[in-house]
């Protein structure tokens, strides 16, 4: 693996790690908000998350969907991508 390819993998790792941190941050903030709010999911909190690629209002996730599906799936995807970057570095070192 050339040095240019290795630098590219490190840049990708930093970007993916930042996205994972952002997703975990909002998941924890949402957990704390809803816990302090008595688990009342009628109030929306945090960034908007959409089902699929459309950003039309009918595809926006409800607060409960974000907590049970949106954030956990996002964390799983970003963690998998970060693990792939780390595996590439470890295999080619």
28 has pLDDT over 90: yes
pTM of the shown model:
0.84
Token pair 């699929």 in the structure block, residue: 52
pLDDT at site 55: 86
- The DSSP-derived string for 19-68 is HHHHHHHHHHHHHHHHHHTTS-TTS--SS--BSSS--SGGGBPPHHHIII
Query: Is the pLDDT reported for residue 27 higher than 90?
Result: yes
Averaged pLDDT, 24-41: 94
CA angle 62, 35, 32 (to 5 degrees): 85
């Amino acid at each position: 693996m050339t040095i240019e390819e290795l630098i590219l993998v490190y840049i990708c790792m930093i970007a993916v790690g930042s996205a994972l941190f952002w997703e975990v941050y909002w998941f924890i903030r949402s957990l704390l908000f809803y816990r302090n709010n008595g688990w009342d999911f009628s109030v929306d909190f945090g960034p908007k998350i959409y089902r699929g690629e459309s950003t039309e209002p009918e595809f926006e996730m409800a607060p409960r969907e974000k907590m049970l599906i949106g954030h956990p799936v996002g964390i799983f995807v970003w963690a998998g991508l970060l693990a792939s970057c780390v595996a590439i570095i470890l295999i080619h070192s």
